[in-house]
Amino acid sequence: MKHSTELLTRSQLAKRWNCSVRKIDRMRDLGIIPWIDLSAGKGSRATVRFKNTTILEFETENSKSIDTSASA
């Protein structure tokens, strides 16, 4: 595994969780998963990333709400 401070894109997280990018966006918009804006407010769109360590913690605490059944 890569360094624990690796940042994941929306697509990488969706692939990891075997779900759509739209589901990741909904979870982010609802404040369910913490995220980082790398654009620092510059530009019209956020550059969204997720800390691998934070995602690992979320997965541990919420394993039943994440569908990873297809990634065995």
According to DSSP, the residues that pair with 7 across neighbouring strands are: 51
- 70 lies in a domain? no
Residue numbers of the domain that contains 43: 9-62
**CA pair distance 26, 22, nearest whole angstrom:** 6
Helix (H, G, I), strand (E, B) or coil at 24: helix
Report pLDDT for 68. 55
Tokens found for residue 55: 């995602």
Token match 């890569």: residue? 2
- 1 lies in a domain? no
Report pLDDT for 21. 97
- 39 lies in a domain? yes
Give the model confidence (pLDDT) of 10-64 as tens digits. 999 999 999 999 999 999 999 999 999 998 777 778 899 999 999 999 999 987 7
User: Rounded to two decimals, what is the model's pTM?
Assistant: 0.77
Query: Domain with 32 in it: what CATH number?
Result: 1.10.10
Q: Is the pLDDT of residue 72 over 80?
A: no
- 38 lies in a domain? yes
Residues in the chain: 72
